[in-house]
Amino acid sequence: MQYKQLEVFPNHFLWGASISAYQAEGAYQEDGKLPSIIDEYQHNEDVAGFEVASDFYHHYKEDILLFKELGLKAFRFSIAWTRIMGKNPEDKNQKGIDFYHRVIDECLKNGIEPIVTMYHFDLPYHLEEQGGWLNRKTIEHFVDYVNVLFTEYGDKINYWLTINEQNTMILHPGAIGLPKQGSLPTKKELFQMNHHVLLAQARAIALHHQLGLKGKIGPAINLTAMYQATAKPEDAIAAHNWETLRGWSFLDAAVRGKYNYLFEKYLNDRKIYPKIKAEDFDILAAGKPDFVAINYYSTATISASKNDGSDVSPRAGDQQIMLGEEGVYRAAENPYVDKTPYGWVVDPTGLRLTLRKLYDRYELPILITENGYGAPDTIDEEGKIQDTDRIHYLAKHITAIQEALTDGVDVIGYLPWSAIDVVSTHQGFNKRYGFIYVDRTDKELKTLKRIRKDSFYWYQKVIAQNGLD
């Protein structure tokens, strides 16, 4: 649809930005923090580790003041489970609890809405040693942790996100590192883990509602619309297969409280259906979210599976993420889109389409919790970081959101990745996303000084005028 005039952004639109604990905080062994799987897994040795990251743990005050100057209405960060809980459910780590009180209070003091992700890939390692998400008991540990979050911060937080990108965790387990011993879980194990994570999420949502806490709670999935490579009917079926298995199967369980029909069929046919207890569907049904959050970067283009052993291939420029599945789909090229320096498809119209499809399906408010442009930014002779490509990327996506709002989609906020430069999980510190440059490289910690990029001043203006020029 083309409109004569686009609607303006609503007055309370949540203009924000995001980070996660392990990619920003550093202080990985400080003040009683336990190791997480991220600390223990093997990562690309040529790039930065997570020990110091952007040192947000020690710079949070300065950073939040910069976010205020940027004009952020909302700041999304994750809480590290490993800073809050000890090894036993009754052990809590007061220093970790206090740290997040300080972060939240600092945001509130500066007029910034704190948006909290409960779980962003960083399972406590002692739980991993007991089977991790494959062990049903991990659900109880998660609920204990969530109980502490609600008790401590429940009266301060208006937006809770349960699990970040459950679909990335399950479909691309190598994306967050490789276990030191042993190999990645099998598909059957992954879908059993998926079931437990769904239950953990539903329990957290139900608990939030039972406690009558203020605010809202929802899942955060990496969602993208899929294009069929050609008008060939088989390509259309493959695109629908993968759109369902990659996105809707996770969200249908979270929002509708039941497994998607095609997903069930796939699990049964491949003999990877998880063990499900009779009461599990009641648990899922009792945990309906108030809104849906999505991380959106790119669309994918799909052609029919050849089912001859050649469907699986690595994502462009990224050997750790495999695309394609025998009998399901193949990844195809899209000649109509640009790419980032890291080979990620740039497709703002795809965001509008994704938002429309998501709203069609559930009619719930939508929060965009990630979107951004990863690039190796550099400081020029004048000390400036001219990240013009990032500005263009963000501007086009903001236009797409405005178009979706005009379509009638209820988008409540936009929180690009990332507020400041953080460590990219397996591509290190060279792949930067922030509005604020952090002076370090993969190998050298340097000053960790914060420097405003050109995109900082640009986004500041966008927020101040509640939209683009």
Question: Between residues 33 and 432, which has the closer beta carbon with respect to ligand BGP?
Answer: 432
Could you say whether residue 224 binds ligand BGP (CB under 6 A)?
Answer: no
Question: Between residues 23 and 82, which has the closer beta carbon with respect to ligand BGP?
Answer: 23
CB 348 within 8 A of CB 336: no
- Shortest Å, Cβ 220 to ligand BGP: 8
Size of the residue set binding ligand BGP (CB under 6 A) = 14
Q: Which of 208, 330, 431, 432 binds ligand BGP (CB under 6 A)?
A: 431
Q: Which stretch binds ligand BGP (CB under 6 A): 81-89, 98-106, 130-138, 425-433?
A: 425-433
Q: Which of 82, 194, 424, 455 binds ligand BGP (CB under 6 A)?
A: 424
Active site residue 45: no
Q: Which of 311, 370, 387, 421 binds ligand BGP (CB under 6 A)?
A: 370
Could you say whether residue 435 binds ligand BGP (CB under 6 A)?
Answer: no
Long-range CB contact pairs, 361-365, < 8 A, 24+: 361/248, 361/251, 362/251, 362/255, 362/256, 362/292, 363/410, 364/218, 364/255, 364/289, 364/290, 364/291, 364/292, 364/410, 365/290, 365/291, 365/292, 365/410, 365/411, 365/412
**Conformational region of residue 418, where left means phi above 0, alpha means psi within -120 to 50, and beta covers everything else:** beta
Q: Which of 194, 228, 260, 427 binds ligand BGP (CB under 6 A)?
A: 427
- Shortest Å, Cβ 153 to ligand BGP: 21
Positions in 347-366 near ligand BGP (CB under 6 A): none
Could you say whether residue 164 binds ligand BGP (CB under 6 A)?
Answer: yes
- Shortest Å, Cβ 418 to ligand BGP: 7
Could you say whether residue 374 binds ligand BGP (CB under 6 A)?
Answer: yes
Active site residue 370: yes
Q: Which of 425, 434, 450, 459 binds ligand BGP (CB under 6 A)?
A: 425
The four Cα atoms 384, 386, 390, 396 give a dihedral, to 10 degrees, of 120
Query: E strands within 316-360?
Result: 318-323, 330-332, 338-339, 345-346
What are the φ and ψ backbone dihedral angles of 186, each rounded to 5 degrees?
A: -75, 170
Cβ atoms within 10 A of the Cβ of 281, count?
15
Question: Between residues 228 and 298, which has the closer beta carbon with respect to ligand BGP?
Answer: 298
Q: Which stretch binds ligand BGP (CB under 6 A): 5-13, 27-35, 164-172, 407-415?
A: 164-172
Pairwise CA distance, residues 117 & 219, whole Å:
9
Could you say whether residue 417 binds ligand BGP (CB under 6 A)?
Answer: yes
Could you say whether residue 165 binds ligand BGP (CB under 6 A)?
Answer: yes
Neighbouring residues of 276: CB distance < 8 A, sequence distance ≥ 6: 195
CB 198 within 8 A of CB 253: yes
Residues labelled catalytic: 165, 370
Would you tell me which residues interact with ligand BGP (CB under 6 A)?
20, 23, 164-165, 168, 222, 295, 370, 374, 417, 424-425, 427, 431
